[in-house]
Amino acid sequence: MGTDPTYARNRARLKHIPSAPRCKMCAAPFAGIGGPFMRLVGHSRWSKNPKYCGACFDVLARLHGGAEIEASFLFADVRGSTTLAETMTPTEFRTELDRFYDSSSEILVRNDAIVDKFVGDEVIGIFIPALAGDQHARSAIEAGRDLLREMSSSEGGHRRLPIGVGVNTGIAFVGAVGAPPVTELTALGDVVNTTARLASVAAAGELLVTLDAARAAGEASGHLEQRSLNLKGKTEAIDVVVETLATVAT
């Protein structure tokens, strides 16, 4: 939960040491003037997953740690990527997806998320209290809005990438899963699966936020479109608030 005072103090101190990229858990720098010193004290990149430092992940992997906590989740993917790939060379397609991966990672980290994984043309972010505090739902929604804005831009000669985003909040297991040496830090549970389904049905340029997430964020959503969605595999309809490029730009 990030309530341990030692953890909070360490992260607060390490995030001020230059420079990015950083461990997504403790914020220890991997580069800049702080990088060499951090490596000396055990905060080098973990060889099996360079998003985290060895010091953080070794503890989780050794103890197979994790817990059921309230957290928020963001799934975003490129809509119509198969059709998009037909309009360009494989190298051009890779360049555009790299932009999506790089921008997504930057936005998620900026909003205090764990960049869980990239799967094909999809990115997954986990917002836990240990990193995003009590406002993890608000952080997830803001990250979704930032992604819509960023991917709608054609600056630098890039194409506008049509993406759909889903955000949800609820109880999930967050921790280490899998046997070494392929142990990963991830999240499991119905709330995660529901978020994935939301992203899959979001139209290009849409951010679908469950009412649970909107309430947790304290969002006033009465002026926005609301839908009740029957998602694949779900026995009950899911109520969502719909944000678009037009609404996030205001």
Could you tell me the residue ranges of all domains in the chain? Answer: 5-63, 66-248
pLDDT of amino acid 152 = 85
pLDDT of amino acid 156 = 66
Element (H, E) at 92: helix 90-110
Beta bridge partners of 22: 29
pLDDT of amino acid 53 = 86
Integer CA distances (angstroms), 77 to 120, 136, 204, 234, in order: 9, 21, 9, 20
pLDDT of amino acid 49 = 60
Beta bridge partners of 185: 176
| Regions of the chain where pLDDT drops below 50 | none
pLDDT of amino acid 169 = 97
C-alpha distance across the termini of the chain, in Å: 33
Strand, helix or coil at 240?
strand
For residues 6 and 26, give the distance between their C-alpha atoms in angstroms, rounded to a whole number. Answer: 11
Cα angle vertex 222, ends 243, 220, to 5°? 80
CATH architecture of 66-248: 2-Layer Sandwich (3.30)
pLDDT of amino acid 123 = 94
